[in-house]
Chain A
């Protein structure tokens, strides 16, 4: 560091380090790419071997090394005046202080005299929710019913009652189809519903937000699902009527 300061002082002008530093930029770039590759492959190895420390070191340890390479060599912080290093260090310390200050409240869900019921409920719900989801997927090939498939997969967007108002559908454009709308059935027959279920709506010129499910279900199951959807049609408008 003192060497660098001498270098700065010896220049004695306002332009600090504008003289160039003979950094091997390409060498630094190659090092960054190699480190990046390790940070992608490392966690895969960590996961495959079940050694969590490999994931942590290759993901976060290497991120720190990479960031430091960029900051020192590309941003030239190592040639910058000490004043700037102190300013940055101060900001970093304040940031860590803030995080450390609130961490006991965020990371713990209970203390001596308090309990964060909402956070506990969220953890509970999340873990249970995932378990149920896995059961549905695993059970699909064996205990298939059109209703369970519809309520498990389709209802997230199309709604439990087929009205196109599922929780995940709210943000979609175009919105999910409303099966209880007579206008929807005006130009749709059973073959077309089966086609869309199997190959996605894009296969008939519709939105590609409606994905293909042919890989998930057998032909018979798709047909049963189509009949289930058709049942949402209002009196006198569906293909079956």
Chain B
């Protein structure tokens, strides 16, 4: 009994494995969280032409670099899933490692970017545009940090050949983090 798994992990009324069902539910609520935030941003942006002046100061090339980093990390996450499906835990752990590396790169680039912006006076209280900028990108960065930490645990297990199904679950979450950034990039950096 000591090693018995919770019932919820063993049966599924929906036909969807419970962990996957759970992560989709998490993401369904995330859609409302990020969607609401970005929707409100977009409305303000359209209602306030003067925001364009503030938005002109975001650094497109840094945003573009981070977009590329996250796209690539999504690719390695799906390769990890592919390896896990074939039962190759070591390979899966390796690809998860690359994904974590992507997450760290993203965060380093972001720290550099925020450091320059804050030191030039563009702080979260500078005006409403910058408040949205730091709130939206900050909430997203928290998701990157959380994902990278959980991915570390999953990778260690996968390396030992354990709980390989979790590779897919953390992957689905990670792709969502990528999808959010796919929308943040044009919203905050491209549309000047």
Interface string of A201-237 (1 = CB under 8 A from B): 0000000110100000000000000000000000000
Interface string of B38-72 (1 = CB under 8 A from A): 01101110111111010000001000100110011
| Complex partner residue of A91 from B29, B49, B51, CB under 8 angstroms | B29
Per the CB 8 Å criterion, the residue count for chain B at the interface is: 67
Chain B residues near A137: list those with CB within 8 A: none
Is B39 in contact with A40, judged by CB distance below 8 angstroms? no
**Max chain A C-beta neighbours (<10 A), residue from B12, B20, B125, B192:** B20
Q: Which residue of B lies closest to A124 (CB)?
A: B50
Is A59 in contact with B186, judged by CB distance below 8 angstroms? yes
Interface string of A3-19 (1 = CB under 8 A from B): 00000100000111011
Cα distance A147–B71 in the bound complex, in angstroms: 49
Cα distance A98–B64 in the bound complex, in angstroms: 30
Cα distance A47–B56 in the bound complex, in angstroms: 12
Interface residue? B75 (CB, 8 A): yes
Number of A-B contacts (CB under 8 A): 176
Is B14 in contact with A60, judged by CB distance below 8 angstroms? no
Per the CB 8 Å criterion, the residue count for chain A at the interface is: 70
Chain B residues near A56: list those with CB within 8 A: 191
Interface residue? A99 (CB, 8 A): yes
Cα distance A211–B16 in the bound complex, in angstroms: 57
Beyond A83-B14, A108-B47, 7 additional pairs, beta carbon < 8 A: A16-B16, A18-B85, A20-B82, A36-B68, A70-B179, A156-B121, A157-B121
4 closest pairs, A vs B, by CB? A126-B50, A168-B121, A99-B39, A95-B35
**Interface, chain B (partner A; CB < 8 A):** 11-12, 14-17, 20-21, 24-25, 27-29, 31-32, 35-36, 39-40, 42-44, 46-51, 53, 60, 64, 67-68, 71-72, 74-75, 77-79, 82, 85-86, 118-121, 123, 125-128, 165, 168, 171-172, 175-176, 178-179, 182-183, 185-186, 190-192
**Interface, chain A (partner B; CB < 8 A):** 8, 14-16, 18-20, 25-26, 28-29, 32-33, 36, 39-40, 43, 47, 55-56, 59-60, 63, 66-67, 70-71, 73-76, 80-81, 83-84, 87-88, 90-92, 94-96, 98-99, 102-103, 106-109, 119, 122-123, 125-127, 129-130, 156-157, 167-172, 208-209, 211
